[in-house]
Structure 1
Amino acid sequence: MYLSRFFADDASMHGCLRCRDTDAPFPLDLRMAFQPIVDVARREVFAYEALVRGPQGEGAGWVLGQVQPEQMYRFDQTCRVLAIATAAELGLDTRLSINFIPNAVYEPASCIRLTLAAAERVGFPVERLMFELTESERITDPGHALGVLEYYARRGFTTAIDDFGAGFSGLALLTRFQPHVLKLDMELVRDVDSQPAKQAIVGGVATMASRIGSRPLAEGVETRAELDWLRGVGIELFQGYLVARPRLGALPEPDWSVFERGSAGSAPPQARLQPSA
Structure 2
Amino acid sequence: MAFHPIIDIKQRAVWGYEALVRGEDGESADVVLGQVNDGNQYIFDQACRIKAIEMAGCLFPRDTDMRLSINLMPNAVYEPAACIAVSLEAARHVGFSSHRIMFELTETERISDPSRVSRILAEYKHHGFITAIDDFGAGHAGLSLLANFQPDIIKIDMELVRGLPASRARQAIVAGVMGMARELGLTVIAEGVETHAELAALLGLGIRLFQGYLFTKPAIARLPPFRLP
- Which residue does the alignment assign to 1:54? 23
What is the SS of the residue equivalent to 1:70?
Answer: coil
Is the Cα–Cα contact under 8 Å of residues 114 and 144 in structure 2 kept in the other structure? no
Q: 2:198 aligns with which of 226, 234, 245?
A: 226
Q: 1:102 aligns with which of 74, 78, 83?
A: 74
Please give the TM-score of this superposition, normalised by the length of structure 1.
0.79
Please tell me the residue identity of whatever aligns with 1:52: V
Shift of residue 81, structure 1, vs aligned partner: 0.2
Shift of residue 42, structure 1, vs aligned partner: 2.4
Please tell me the residue identity of whatever aligns with 1:38: I
Which has the larger Rg? Answer: 1
Please tell me the residue identity of whatever aligns with 1:34: F
Shift of residue 58, structure 1, vs aligned partner: 1.0
- Which residue does the alignment assign to 1:140? 112
Q: Does 1:244 align with 2:216?
A: yes
Shift of residue 254, structure 1, vs aligned partner: 2.6
Partners of 2:93 and 2:185 lie apart in 1 by 34
User: Residue deviations 1:80-102, cap 9 Å, x none?
Assistant: 00001111121344110000111
User: Residue deviations 1:172-200, cap 9 Å, x none?
Assistant: 11111111111001000001001111111
Identical amino acids, percent of aligned pairs: 55
Is the Cα–Cα contact under 8 Å of residues 133 and 142 in structure 2 kept in the other structure? no
Q: 1:40 aligns with which of 9, 19, 39?
A: 9
Please tell me the residue identity of whatever aligns with 2:116: H
Is the Cα–Cα contact under 8 Å of residues 5 and 18 in structure 2 kept in the other structure? yes
Partners of 2:25 and 2:112 lie apart in 1 by 32
Shift of residue 113, structure 1, vs aligned partner: 1.4
Q: Does 1:129 align with 2:98?
A: no
Give me the CA root mean square deviation. Answer: 1.1
Please tell me the residue identity of whatever aligns with 1:157: F
Is the Cα–Cα contact under 8 Å of residues 102 and 144 in structure 1 kept in the other structure? no
Please give the TM-score of this superposition, normalised by the length of structure 2.
0.95
Structure 2 residue ranges without an equivalent (≥5): none
Partners of 2:199 and 2:83 lie apart in 1 by 38
Q: Does 1:91 align with 2:63?
A: no
Partners of 2:76 and 2:197 lie apart in 1 by 39
Equivalenced residues, count: 226
What is the SS of the residue equivalent to 1:112?
Answer: helix
Q: Does 1:158 align with 2:127?
A: no
What is the SS of the residue equivalent to 1:175?
Answer: helix
- Which residue does the alignment assign to 1:268? none
Q: 1:211 aligns with which of 183, 187, 212?
A: 183
Report 1 or 2 for greater relative contact order, CA contacts < 8 Å, sequence distance ≥ 6: 2
